[in-house]
């Protein structure tokens, strides 16, 4: 005979009051795990697991594609100007990534709190998290914008940029800095929506942002869209696909204006969406005042994530510095073009990681670690299947792919080798993306942080340095000698060797995160 269990939940609000919600759960002796632990509120309430994965992932896949297009459009247009402009946009893109770390870290905390709260039916707690995340993202975004605008010349100098490349980088960074508060609000708001199970509104927002970015950046840059390839003599053959009809020629400044305007409009749209409400989740004015209990809970999850992702960002920035030490101009651009193209292979993995993060948090909030694990495994299967196909494309037609995205001869020569190398690691990379995302969504951010730092600084950087053959110059004229095994044994060019070291680390990183997944400690975290 069915027995009824009443749960009394004490919810703290931003006014220090408490409210009690009573949830009755019908449980019978023969009901299964899926029935006893269904998600109780939000967009995913009552859906089967496969339905929830589909609802969460397809909009995120489209949204991630569009988000990647913002940076890719900037890189493509810069590659139509010069190698120096491409180097400059490449440097700036790494600092745009740094800015997004702040919003994403806050968003991870919000995703964990919102998804757990929605899974338990505690809407007031979720709304408190949204208000605090919005406030923090706006304040921090403004502070970082000022710092980047002031430090732009120093940033460009770190990467050995000179002449036009240096000036282009400073110009882009200072113009784009104006839009940084919009970017932080946009990304943190997107994560709040995802925690509630809504990925459609963020997708629509990113569609609007991309239309704005492409229209303004293309119109102001003066660049024609073209497809380029190297002929038998090693010369670039360019075929114009679409001439720029506007006639303006602001170059890198025009590209930066398009990006800045798109970010500001994106932040405004996300503010309006949250103020109107998303499946019960709502940004309310009274929740914009500091609420220290909620802030502490957010920081407890967000701080380790920021330290983790900052460590990952700084590791990749050191890799970029190694590229700058290769004593050949234009290689930063070739490296960044490869990164931008490879990013499209990540998108299915990140879409599935987002689904895994939300489902892991909501199923754990509903009390089922078994369903949380099952959701992660299913998301991983989908991600590996799609990223495997990208790997095949990188292995078979890398030259044709690069010819679509760059018109510079050096990029056409160097970048296909880099795509070919990363084609081999798409499956382990897909698995580690999904597992890491799920652990973050479950609130296991401290362990994820430690594992990421371990793989980045103990494995990734030493292997990238060793395989590249770069001899690092230190202050005082000191030089760290490099045995350069890949160059001595296989006559591999330094940039390709660097990528081989990075890709080898991704395979090792998969083994590290897989061990944590099997351990199961991520299912027992408190948020």
Report the distance separating Cα 185 and Cα 205, nearest Å.
Answer: 12
Contact between 320 and 332 under an 8 Å Cβ cutoff? The reply is yes
pLDDT at 65: 75
Q: Where is pLDDT greater, at 324 or 452?
A: 452
Cβ atoms of residues 502 and 460 within 8 Å: yes
pLDDT band (50, 70, 90) for residue 2: very low
Give the angle subtended at the CA of 452 by the CAs of 93 and 66, to the nearest 5°. Answer: 35
Q: What gap in Å lies between CA 349 and CA 357, rounded to an integer?
A: 12
Question: For 10-24, what is each residue's pLDDT tens digit?
Answer: 233 333 333 333 233
Q: Residue 526 burial (CB < 10 Å; 0-12/13-18/19+)?
A: exposed
Cα 300 from Cα 446, distance rounded (Å)? 9
Which residues are CB-contacts of 64 (< 8 A; sequence separation ≥ 6)? Answer: 346, 347, 350, 351
Picking from 340, 306, 336, the residue whose alpha carbon sits closest to that of residue 319 is 336
Average pLDDT over residues 86-115: 77
Q: Whole-model pTM?
A: 0.70
Q: What 8-state DSSP symbol labels residue 459?
A: I
pLDDT of residue 96: 77
Residue pair 335/90 in contact by the 8 Å Cβ criterion: yes
pLDDT at 74: 79
Give pLDDT tens digits for 214-265. Answer: 889 888 988 877 666 666 666 666 666 667 777 788 888 998 999 899 999 9
Bridge-partner residues for 12, per DSSP? Answer: 18
Exposure of 430 in the CB half-sphere (CA atoms within 13 A): 27
Q: Can you tell me whether residue 228 is helix, strand or coil?
A: strand
Instruction: Give the residue with greater pLDDT, 367 vs 384.
Output: 384
SS (H, E, C) 180-220: HHHHHHHHHHHHHHHHCCCCHHHHHHHHHHHHHHHHHHHHH
Beta partners for 6? 24
Within 13 A of 152's CA, how many CA atoms are on the CB side?
23
Report in angstroms the alpha-carbon separations of 297 from 9, 139, 262, 308, 446.
18, 18, 31, 18, 14
CA distance 178 to 31: 56
Residue 455: the pLDDT is: 92
Banded pLDDT at 146 (limits 50, 70, 90): very high
Any idea what DSSP says for residue 278? B
Average the pLDDT over 510-522 and give the result.
Answer: 91
The more confident residue out of 407 and 337 is 337
Instruction: Determine how β-strand 472-473 pairs with β-strand 479-480.
Output: antiparallel
Please, is 111 exposed, middle or buried when counting C-beta atoms within 10 Å of its C-beta (0-12, 13-18, 19+)? buried
Q: What residues are paired with 240 via a beta bridge?
A: 226
Secondary structure letter of residue 223 according to DSSP = P
- Eight-state DSSP code of residue 21: E
What span, in angstroms and rounded, lies between the C-alpha atoms of 423 and 434?
18
Q: Which residue has the tokens 């459609």?
A: 200
Give the residues across from 76 on adjacent strands.
Answer: none
Q: How many CA atoms lie within 13 A of 339 on its CB side?
A: 25
User: What whole-number distance in Å separates Cα of residue 41 and Cα of residue 195?
Assistant: 11
Please tell me the distance from the alpha carbon of residue 472 to that of residue 319, in angstroms, as a whole number: 12
Q: How many whole angstroms separate alpha carbon 369 and alpha carbon 397?
A: 42
For the chain, state the CA radius of gyration: 24
Q: Indicate whether 40 pLDDT > 70.
A: no
Residue 8 pLDDT level (bands cut at 50, 70, 90): very low
Distance between CA atoms of 63 and 56, rounded to whole angstroms?
11
Q: Three-class SS of residue 8?
A: strand
Neighbours of 472 (CB within 10 A): 14
Average pLDDT over residues 370-387: 90
Segment 330-351 mean pLDDT: 84
CA gap 169, 320 in Å, rounded:
15
Report in angstroms the alpha-carbon separations of 66 from 61, 91, 126, 204, 208: 9, 21, 27, 10, 9
Please give the pLDDT value at position 10.
28
Q: How many angstroms from the chain centroid is the CA of residue 143?
A: 21
Percent of the chain with pLDDT over 70: 83
Rounded Cα–Cα distance for residues 149 and 342 (Å): 29
Residues 415-434: b if buried by 16+ CB within 10 A, e if exposed? bbbbbbbbbbbbbbbbbbbb
């Amino acid at each position: 005979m069915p027995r009824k269990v009443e749960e009394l939940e004490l919810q703290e609000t931003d006014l220090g009051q408490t409210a009690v919600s009573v949830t009755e759960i019908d449980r019978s002796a023969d009901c299964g795990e899926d029935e006893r632990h269904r998600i109780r509120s939000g967009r995913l309430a009552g859906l089967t697991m496969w339905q929830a994965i589909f609802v969460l992932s397809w909009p995120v896949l489209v949204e991630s594609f569009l988000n990647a297009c913002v940076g890719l459009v900037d890189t493509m247009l810069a590659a139509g100007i010069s190698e120096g402009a491409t180097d400059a946009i490449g440097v700036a893109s790494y600092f745009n990534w740094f800015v997004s770390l702040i919003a994403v870290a806050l968003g991870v905390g919000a995703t964990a709190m919102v998804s757990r709260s929605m899974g338990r039916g505690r809407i007031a707690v979720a709304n408190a998290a949204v208000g605090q995340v919005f406030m923090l993202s706006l304040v921090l975004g403004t502070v970082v914008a000022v710092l980047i605008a002031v430090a732009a010349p120093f940033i460009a100098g770190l990467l050995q940029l000179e002449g036009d490349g240096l000036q282009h980088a400073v110009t882009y960074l200072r113009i784009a800095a104006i839009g940084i508060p919009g970017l932080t609000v946009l990304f943190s708001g997107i994560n709040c929506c995802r925690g509630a199970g809504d990925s459609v509104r963020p997708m629509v927002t990113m569609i609007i942002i991309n239309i704005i970015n492409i229209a303004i950046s293309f119109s102001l840059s003066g660049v024609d869209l073209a497809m380029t390839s190297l002929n038998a003599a090693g010369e670039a053959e360019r075929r114009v696909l679409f001439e720029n009809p506007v006639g303006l020629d602001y170059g890198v400044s025009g590209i930066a204006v398009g990006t800045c305007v798109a970010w500001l409009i994106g932040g405004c749209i996300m503010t309006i969406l949250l103020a109107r409400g998303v499946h019960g989740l709502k940004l309310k004015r009274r929740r914009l005042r500091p609420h220290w209990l909620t802030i502490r809970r957010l920081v407890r999850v967000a701080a380790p994530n920021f330290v983790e992702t900052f460590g990952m960002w700084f590791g990749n920035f050191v890799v970029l510095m190694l590229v700058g030490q290769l004593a050949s101009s234009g290689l930063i651009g070739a490296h960044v073009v490869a990164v931008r193209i490879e990013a499209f292979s990540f998108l299915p993995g990140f879409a599935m990681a987002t689904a895994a993060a939300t489902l892991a948090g909501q199923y754990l909030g509903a009390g089922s670690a078994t369903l949380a694990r099952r959701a992660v495994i299913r998301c991983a299967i989908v991600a590996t299947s799609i990223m495997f196909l990208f790997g095949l494309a990188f292995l078979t037609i890398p030259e044709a792919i690069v010819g679509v995205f760059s018109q510079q001869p050096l990029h056409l020569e160097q970048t296909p080798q880099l795509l070919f190398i990363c084609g081999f690691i798409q499956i382990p990379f897909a698995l580690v993306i999904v597992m890491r995302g799920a652990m973050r969504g479950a609130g296991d951010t401290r362990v994820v942080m430690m594992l990421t730092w371990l793989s980045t600084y103990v494995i990734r950087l030493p292997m990238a340095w060793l395989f590249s053959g770069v001899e690092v110059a230190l202050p005082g004229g000191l030089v760290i000698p490099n045995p350069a095994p890949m160059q001595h044994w296989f006559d591999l060019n330094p940039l390709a060797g660097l990528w081989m070291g990075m890709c080898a680390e991704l395979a090792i990183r998969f083994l590290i995160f897989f061990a944590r997944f099997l351990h199961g400690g991520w299912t027992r975290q408190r948020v």
